[in-house]
Structure 1
Amino acid sequence: MSDWEVHAVKYADRNARTRADSFIFDDNHDAPHAMDYYMWLLRNGDRVILVDTGYDEDEASSRGRPIRLNPVEALAPLGLTPENVTEVIVTHLHYDHAGGLALFPSAHLHLQAAELAFATGPCMCHDTLRMPFTAGHVCEAIKRLYQGKLTFHDGDAEIADGVTVHCIGGHSRGLQAVRIRTQAGWMVLASDAAHFYENLWLRKPFPIVVDLENMLTGFDRLETLATRRELIVPGHDPIVRRAFAQGASDHIFRLDTGPIAEINL
Structure 2
Amino acid sequence: MSEWEVHAVKYAERNGRVRGDSFIFDDNHDAPHAMDYFIWVLRQGDRAILVDTGYDGEEAARRGRPIGMDPREALAPLGIAPEAVEQVIVTHLHYDHAGGLHLFPNATLHLQTAEMAYATGPCMCHDALRMPCTAGHVCEAVRRLHAGRLRFHEGDGEVADGVIVHWIGGHSRGLQCVRVRTQAGWLVLASDAAHYYGNVFKRKPFPIVVDLQNMLDGFARLEALASSRGLIVPGHDPLVRRLFPQGPAAHIVRRDAGPQDEALLTEILS
Output the TM-score relative to the length of structure 2: 0.97
Q: CA deviation at 1:83?
A: 1.5
State the Cα deviation string for residues 173-213 of structure 1 (Å, max 9, x = none). Answer: 00000000000000000000000000000000000000000
What residue is the counterpart of 2:98 in the other structure?
Answer: 98
Q: Distance in 1 between matches of 2:35 and 2:205?
A: 15
What residue is the counterpart of 1:200 in the other structure?
Answer: 200
Q: Distance in 1 between matches of 2:21 and 2:2?
A: 40
Q: CA deviation at 1:144?
A: 0.1
State the Cα deviation string for residues 30-71 of structure 1 (Å, max 9, x = none). Answer: 010000000100011222100000000000000000000100
Give the aligned residue type for 2:41. L
Runs of 4+ in 1 over 3 A off after TM superposition: none
* Structure 2 gaps, min length 5: none
Q: Distance in 1 between matches of 2:223 and 2:59?
A: 33
What residue is the counterpart of 2:85 in the other structure?
Answer: 85
Q: Distance in 1 between matches of 2:110 and 2:135?
A: 19
Give the aligned residue type for 1:110. H
State the Cα deviation string for residues 87-133 of structure 1 (Å, max 9, x = none). Answer: 00000000000000000000100000000100000110000000000
Q: Distance in 1 between matches of 2:249 and 2:2?
A: 25
Give the aligned residue type for 1:5. E
Residue-pair matches, total:
265
Output the TM-score relative to the length of structure 1: 0.99
Q: Distance in 2 between matches of 1:158 and 1:101?
A: 21
What residue is the counterpart of 2:134 in the other structure?
Answer: 134
For 1:11, what is the secondary structure of its paired residue? strand
RMSD over aligned CA atoms reads: 0.6
* Structure 1 gaps, min length 5: none
What residue is the counterpart of 2:18 in the other structure?
Answer: 18
- Of the structure 1 ranges 204-213 and 44-53, higher mean CA displacement relative to structure 2 is found in 44-53
Q: Distance in 2 between matches of 1:173 and 1:16?
A: 28
